[in-house]
Structure 1
Amino acid sequence: MAKQQVSRSIVVHAPAERVFALLTDPRRHADIDGSATVRGPLHGPERLVAGSEFGMDMKMFGVSYRMTNRVVEYEQDRRIAWRHIGAHRWRWELEPLDGGATRVTETFDYSTTGPFAVLYQLAGYPSRNARAIEATLPRLKKLVEA
């Protein structure tokens, strides 16, 4: 694990194209979210591509809010990452494996936040995000394999 990043992986028994199709559909993000913060889509395209903006209805610590995200990394069927007003990123990387399976790695990357990275650490986000990723990946696996 790189410094100022939290990553976890899972093997999904489905091709990368199928996994990527789910990840690039913002209407399905609440279905895979293990943090219980994503409530549903507000606006944006049906399929995310490089530069896409999409809004999500969110709730954390009992407070509802809205967040607009922008896709900042994109490689068809291999990688997608987005960020909102903060500089941190949520990244998904897909590695095709033998037999049609895919290794899926989700990363919370706060290395791009500069001096604010210390605040993320003090607020406990690395461990909180690790738990959320650990809950998200099995949900993704179940949906894609169904």
Structure 2
Amino acid sequence: MTDRRTRQNRSATTTVSAPPSVVFSILADPRQHARIDGSGTVRAVVSGPDRLELGSTFGMDMKMGAAYKIGNTVVEFETDRLIAWRHKGLHRWRYELTPQGADTVVTETWDVSRYPLPLRLGLAASLGKKTQAAIEATLVKLKAAAESDAA
């Protein structure tokens, strides 16, 4: 049963024919985020380390209609298993990796559970459908990138 706080979250899962270390190396390198972005909004990294860790900050050039810059902070991190970041809002972009034989099961989640209920409902209503499509497209690109890197 879905928890009421997480009901408005959006997520999708895919299986990647590559080990978790290969998938994680893409996610933990902000310079590769434009490579896997399915939303079409991530343009380029403007600041940050080559490899993210808990507490790392990184900035991105974005475009959703107008161009803008956004700063992010890594708020969850477990090497080859979990990475999540957020910007000034309370929502998080989370990637969970689970080894499955030689493959990796990857779940991407747009987590809005930290917002009060009225804001969660508003975000889900206004951005949920578009975000779900972006997550699904990102996972397609991440799968292709990781499988190419592993080859």
TM-score range, shorter chain: over 0.9
Equivalence map 1:34-49=2 (5 Å)? 34-49=38-53
Residue 68 of structure 1: aligned partner: 71
Residue 141 of structure 2: aligned partner: 139
Query: Which residue identity does 1:6 align to in structure 2?
Result: R
Give the Å deviation of 1:113.
Answer: 1.5
For structure 1, the residue ranges without an aligned partner over 5 or more in a row are none
Q: Please give the TM-score of this superposition, normalised by the length of structure 2.
A: 0.92
The CA distance in 1 between the partners of 2:129 and 2:33, in whole Å, is 21
Equivalence map 1:16-95=2 (5 Å)? 16-60=20-64, 62-95=65-98
The CA distance in 2 between the partners of 1:92 and 1:72, in whole Å, is 12
Provide, for residues 16-59 of structure 1, a one-character-per-residue CA deviation record: whole Å limited to 9, x for no partner: 01100000000000000000000010000000000000000000
Aligned positions, number:
143
* Identical aligned residues as a percent: 50
For structure 2, the residue ranges without an aligned partner over 5 or more in a row are none
Provide, for residues 43-86 of structure 1, a one-character-per-residue CA deviation record: whole Å limited to 9, x for no partner: 000000000000000000x2000000000000111000000000
Give the Å deviation of 1:118.
Answer: 2.4
Q: 1:119 aligns with which of 107, 119, 122?
A: 122
The CA distance in 1 between the partners of 2:109 and 2:82, in whole Å, is 11
